[in-house]
Structure 1
Amino acid sequence: MSARKPAASRLSDIVASELETRILEGSLKPGDRLPAERELAVELGVSRPSLRAALQALAAKGLLITRHGGGTFVTDFMEAPFVDPWQQMLKDHPDIHGDMLEFRHMLESQAAQLAAERATEADLERIGACHAAVEQAFDSNDLETCIAMDVAFHQAIAEASHNVLIGHLSSSLHKVLQGHVQGNLEYLNARPELWNQLKVQHRAIWDAIRERRTETASLASRHHIEFVRRTTLETQRDEERRSRASRRLGAV
Structure 2
Amino acid sequence: MKITSLLLAVILAGGALLLSCEKNTFNLTTRTEVQNTARLKIGYFSPTVPNPAAQLKVNGERVSPNLVYNTPFPGGGLNTLGLNHSDYLSFTPGNLNFSFSIQKVGTSEDSVKLLEFSQQLDAKRYTLFVTDSFPNTTSVLVQDDVDRPTDSGKVRIKFVHLIPDAGPLDFYRDNVKIAGNVEYKQVTEYMDVFAGNVSYYVKLAGTNTTINVAAGNKINPVAGRIYTFFARGWKSRTTGTLMPNVSAMIVQ
Tell me whether the two structures share a fold, i.e. TM-score over 0.5: no
Structure richer in strand, relative to its length = 2
TM-score of the pair, normalised by structure 1: 0.24
Larger radius of gyration: 1
TM-score of the pair, normalised by structure 2: 0.24
Structure richer in helix, relative to its length = 1
